[in-house]
Amino acid sequence: MTFPTRGYAAQSATTPLAPFQFERRAPRPDDVVIDILYCGVCHSDIHQARNEWHGSMYPMVPGHEIVGRVSAVGSAVTKFKAGDTVGVGCMVDSCQHCASCNTGLEQYCEQGATWTYNDKDRQDGSLTFGGYSERIVVSDKFVVSISDKLDLKAAAPLLCAGITTWSPLRHWNIGKGSKIAVIGLGGLGHMGLKFAKAMGADVTLFTRSPGKEEEARRLGADHVVLSTDAQQMAAVARQFEFILDTVPSPHDLNPYLDTLAINGVICLVGLLEPLEPAVQTAKVILGRRSISGSAIGGIGETQEMLDFCAEHGIVSDIEVIDMKDINAAYERVVKSDVRYRFVIDMASLKAA
Ligand code: NAP
Ligand code: ZN
C-alpha cells in the first residue's frame, strides 16, 4: 500500500513553492519508512527549484537535510526499527557495485547516484521527491543513525552542509597544526568553521560581509579577513595549506590563490558553473598549488561525521521556520541573510 503524502513543490522554475499531494511507494524489502521531523534548507534547493543548474524536473519537492523517526521497515531490514531516529541526505540510491560504490564513495557512483529529489528512482523510474514533506521511503543503505543526544532540528543540516564540509577537511587531513581558511559564512561555511576548529586547525574566514566578524569568531574562526579589502588580503599572502570555497556563484579565484602556501589546495564545493574571471595559471604553477573540488560525502563517512558530532556536541546554528514560509526563506538565503541555516519544522506542514 502506498502512502498519501503532503509536501511543498515547485511546479516550474518561476513559480513559488506551494502545497502538493503525492504518493510515497509501498516499502520494498530493503526500505525504511521515515516520518520527517525536520528538513534543512540548502542553497542547492534554490538552485534546483529555479533550474539554475539546468535539467530540473517538475513537480519538484526539494529537501535533502532530513531528520525523522522510522515508522516502519521492509521485510529484509535489520539495521533499523520503528522509533529509531534517522537521517537522509542528498542520495537515496546508487549502483552499489562500481569502484566508487565499493569504496564508500557512493556520491561518485560511476552510473550516477540517485539524488534525493529531482532524479529518477533506479527501479521504477518515478521522480524522487525530497524532504519538504511528511514522510520519505528510502533504501536502508542510504539511511544513517542520529543520536538523540543531538538537538534534532539543529542536526538536520549536518546531512548536507555538514558532510559537504567534513569530507574535504578529512580527505586533505586537516588537523592540529593545519592553517586553513573557509570562504563564505553561510550554511556550509559555518559548518566548515566548526569542524576545522574541532579538528584542531587554525581557522580563517574570508567574508564579503563586514558584519559577520563577531559571529565568525563565536563559530570557530581564529581570524577574519574581509575579502573586499585588498590590504587585508595582502596581509594573508602565502598563508594557507587549504582553503574551502563555499561561494555559490561565479567569482574571482585569483585573489584567493595568492593566499595559498606553496603546495596549497583550494577546494571548490559551492560552484557548479565555469569560474569567472579565468584563473591566472601562473598563480597555480609558481607555487605548485592545486584547484580541486568535492561533492557531499559517502554514506559511511556521513555516519562517521554524525558520530563525531554526537561526541563533540556539534550541530548547526539554525532558524526554524514553518513550511508555509519557505518562499520568504529562499529570498533571505539568496541575500546571505540567514544565521546560518533555515530548518523547516515539519509539524507545521501537518498542522496546516
Ligand atoms: P549560503 O548559505 O547561501 O552561503 C553562501 C555564502 O557564500 C554566503 O553566506 C556568503 O558569505 C557567500 N557568498 C554568497 N554569494 C557570494 C558571491 N557572489 N561572492 C562571494 N561570496 C558570496 O549557501 P550554502 O547552502 O552554504 O551553499 C553554498 C553553495 O554550496 C551553494 O552553491 C550550494 O548549491 C553548494 N553546495 C554544494 C555541495 C557539494 O556537495 N559540493 C553541497 C551542498 C551545497 P559571506 O556573506 O560570508 O561572504
Ligand atoms: Zn545541500
| 3-state class (DSSP) for residue 145 | strand
Tens digit of each residue's pLDDT (9 = 90 or more) over 100-121:
999 999 999 999 999 999 999 9
DSSP state of 247: -
Ligand closest to 269 (CA) is: 1
Classify domain 3-160+297-349 at the CATH topology level: Quinone Oxidoreductase; Chain A, domain 1 (3.90.180)
pLDDT (0 to 100) of residue 350: 82
CA-nearest residue for atom 32, ligand 1, is 248
Binding site membership of 192 for ligand 1 (Cβ less than 6 Å)? no
43 lines ligand 1 (CB under 6 A): yes
Tell me, what's the pLDDT at 351? Answer: 81
CA distance 44 to 333: 11
Distance in Å, CA 233 to ligand 2 centroid: 29
Calculate the average pLDDT of the chain.
Answer: 97
Which one of 269, 330, 338 would you pick to mutate in the ligand 1 pocket, going by the greatest count of ligand atoms within 8 A of its CB? 269
Q: Is the pLDDT of residue 6 over 80?
A: yes
Q: DSSP per residue over 328-347, as a string?
A: HHHHHHHTT--SSEEEEETH
Give the percent of the chain with pLDDT over 90.
98
Using DSSP's 3-state secondary structure scheme, residue 261 falls into: strand
Q: Which residues of 107-137 are buried (b: 16+ CB within 10 A; e: fewer)?
A: bbbeeebbbbbbbeebeeeeebbbbbbbbbb
What pLDDT sits at residue 60?
Answer: 98
188 within ligand 1 shell (Cβ under 6 A):
yes
State yes or no: pLDDT of 145 exceeds 80. Answer: yes
- Domains of the chain, by residue range, sit at 3-160+297-349, 162-293
Query: What element of type H or E holds 154?
Result: helix 152-155
Question: What atom in ligand 1 is closest to the CA of residue 188?
Answer: 26
* 39, 165, 188, 340, best to mutate for ligand 1 pocket (most atoms within 8 Å of CB): 188
Beta-carbon-side half-sphere exposure of residue 160 (alpha carbons within 13 Å) = 30
Q: In percent, how much of the chain has pLDDT > 70?
A: 100
The residue among 122, 91, 115 whose CA lies nearest residue 104 is 91
User: 238 CA to middle of ligand 2, Å?
Assistant: 31
Indicate if the pLDDT at residue 303 is higher than 90: yes
Nearest atom, ligand 1, residue 272 CA: 32
For ligand 1, whether the C-beta of 224 sits within 6 Å is no
Structure-block grid coordinates of residue 283:
598563480
Query: Which pLDDT does position 352 carry in this prediction?
Result: 75
Ligand 1 atom at shortest distance from the alpha carbon of 205? 47
Distances 178 to 80, 196, 227, 241, 299 between C-alpha atoms, Å: 38, 9, 21, 7, 26
pLDDT, mean of residues 315-338: 97
DSSP string, 286-316: TTT-EEEE--S--HHHHHHHHHHHHHHT---
Query: Where residue 81 falls among pLDDT bands split at 50, 70, 90?
Result: very high
CATH assignment of 162-293, among 1.20.1050.140, 3.40.50.720, 3.40.50.2000, 3.40.50.300: 3.40.50.720
Task: Answer yes or no: is the C-beta of 160 below 6 A from any ligand 1 atom.
Answer: yes
Give the 3-state secondary structure of residue 131.
coil
Instruction: Give the C-alpha separation, 246 to 180, whole Å.
Output: 14
pLDDT of amino acid 196: 98
Q: Which CA distances in Å does 114 have to 90, 161, 200, 274, 276?
A: 9, 18, 35, 24, 30
Closest CA to 239 of 216, 219, 256: 256
- State the DSSP H helix or E strand holding residue 231, giving kind and residue range, or none if neither: helix 230-234
Q: Residue range 205-230: average pLDDT? A: 97
